[in-house]
Structure 1
Amino acid sequence: MTNEAAASGDDADLGDIQRQHWQSTYLANPGMYGEKPSTSAIQAAQIFGAAGARTILELGAGHGRDALHFARAGFTVHATDFSDVGLRQLRERADSESVEGLTTEIVDVRAPLPLPDASFDAVYAHMLLCMALSSEEIVTLVREIHRVLRPGGTLFYTVRHTGDAHYGSGIDHGDDIFEQGGFAVHFFARAFVDELAEGWELRRIDDFEEGALPRRLWSVVQTRR
């Protein structure tokens, strides 16, 4: 497929293609990210704990290494993903290790979150917002996150940004979305982070690296007013 065709929208729905790609990836590589929690999850757990949070909604939990970390730390965790394969792996591991306080649900964040208003103290999304979502879908999703958070609740998310080595390379799908090795990423500009913080209290933005490339990311912490 040419870059022009991808950017024009002539290809099939990118989100659905990515969902199938992740399903296949989890089937071929169970526990592909390992058993240890990400550095972001360790940091988020500290921030959530300091804020007095007890209930966490994780968006894009995958096979659950971070969700399990939160549950072991004493939080009540609702882990969601659009991959039933990843969530099945999460449930199997939680059951085998007798981890309590953890529920799972298949959720496609392109649709309204099937959750009640003001039902969580914190929301965690590690590299979920920078997947194959349009800017409009991301803005809508952050509004939904605001809705399901309790007043004063905390959102912790991480995204790859435009300083990343992969930004501008690979298949160009438009809207700052580029695909490398079958994985599509929406790279964030700082102005977009600020836009998503409108109506929130923006607490901090930290630049960090992850992986062998290395990937360049921001972690963002903002609270519901």
Structure 2
Amino acid sequence: MESTEKDLSAVQREHWQGTYAAHPGMYGEQPSAAAIHAAGVFGAAGVREVLELGAGHGRDALYFARAGFTVQATDFSPVGLEQLREAARAQDIAGRVTTAVHDVREVLPLPDASVDAVFAHMLLCMALSTGEIRAAVGEIRRVLRPGGVLVYTVRHTGDAHHGAGTAHGDDIFEHGGFAVHFFDRDLVGTLASGWTLNEVHAFEEGDLPRRLWRVTQTLPR
């Protein structure tokens, strides 16, 4: 199973690299609805610095920077991050944004308790095993300061693509070249163990539409 997971990871990395190269700014310039919500949550919590995981070409990271936050943006695609940096320079907010190539399966290159908030829009529901997802949330917990906030979104098992396409096990299904781990409610609860689970909000996005949960959880102080 481990070798299969590694093969799928490599294929997905190459797929995203090619997708960003072929379709620069593929998600447009407007922030996601999840990022707009998160900015409000972060502002109310007194957040100054946001770590975005899976930032892609940066529409949400740039929005956070324009809203006054300092942003650390990571993604496993150097192509996407270069597009982000170019846009930050064009918008004259490059001083508020730093980037780093990072695979969420790996340890975050940050000290313990060093960031105020973490945002991840549809990153945790990529081609990650349940064990890898739990490890990633453990890393998020490590780098957040006490009282830090995590806002993430994931496609869930009520989505039309759940059970469709190529099955890879562990509720991972590949459709149109993109592999997705569809979350059930139990997994959301497991990932919130030891946190305060503030909200699990169901919403839809895109033309299918994709069905997602927006999850907000806070570390104890």
Please give the TM-score of this superposition, normalised by the length of structure 2: 0.97
Cα distance in 2 for partners of 1:8, 1:57 equals 28
How many residues in Structure 1 have an aligned counterpart in Structure 2? 219
Aligned partner of 1:179 in structure 2 is 174
Counterpart of 2:34 (choices 31, 40, 44) is 40
CA contact (8 A) 1:200 1:224 kept: yes
Query: Unaligned 5+ residue runs, structure 1?
Result: 1-6
SS in 1 for 2:146: strand
Counterpart of 1:77 (choices 71, 81, 86) is 71
Cα distance in 2 for partners of 1:182, 1:11 equals 15
CA contact (8 A) 1:59 1:80 kept: yes
Cα distance in 2 for partners of 1:13, 1:54 equals 38
Q: Post-superposition shift, 1:41?
A: 0.4
The 1:11/1:54 distance shift into structure 2, 3 A limit, reads closer
Q: Post-superposition shift, 1:39?
A: 0.5
Q: Give the aligned residue type for 1:44.
A: A
Cα distance in 1 for partners of 2:25, 2:209 equals 21
Cα distance in 1 for partners of 2:29, 2:5 equals 36
Counterpart of 2:59 (choices 59, 65, 72) is 65
Q: Quick check: 1:128 aligned with 2:160?
A: no
Q: Post-superposition shift, 1:97?
A: 1.5
SS in 2 for 1:13: helix
Q: Post-superposition shift, 1:9?
A: 6.2
Aligned partner of 1:196 in structure 2 is 191
Structure 1 segment 1-225 matched on structure 2, within 5 A: 13-99=7-93, 100-225=95-220
Q: Post-superposition shift, 1:10?
A: 5.4
The 1:12/1:108 distance shift into structure 2, 3 A limit, reads closer
Q: What RMSD over aligned residues (CA atoms) do the two structures have, in Å?
A: 1.3
Cα distance in 2 for partners of 1:24, 1:127 equals 19
Q: Post-superposition shift, 1:212?
A: 0.3
Query: Unaligned 5+ residue runs, structure 2?
Result: none
CA contact (8 A) 1:8 1:173 kept: no
Cα distance in 1 for partners of 2:104, 2:72 equals 14
Percent identical across equivalent pairs?
67
After the TM superposition, which segments of 4 or more aligned residues of structure 1 sit over 6 Å from their partners? none
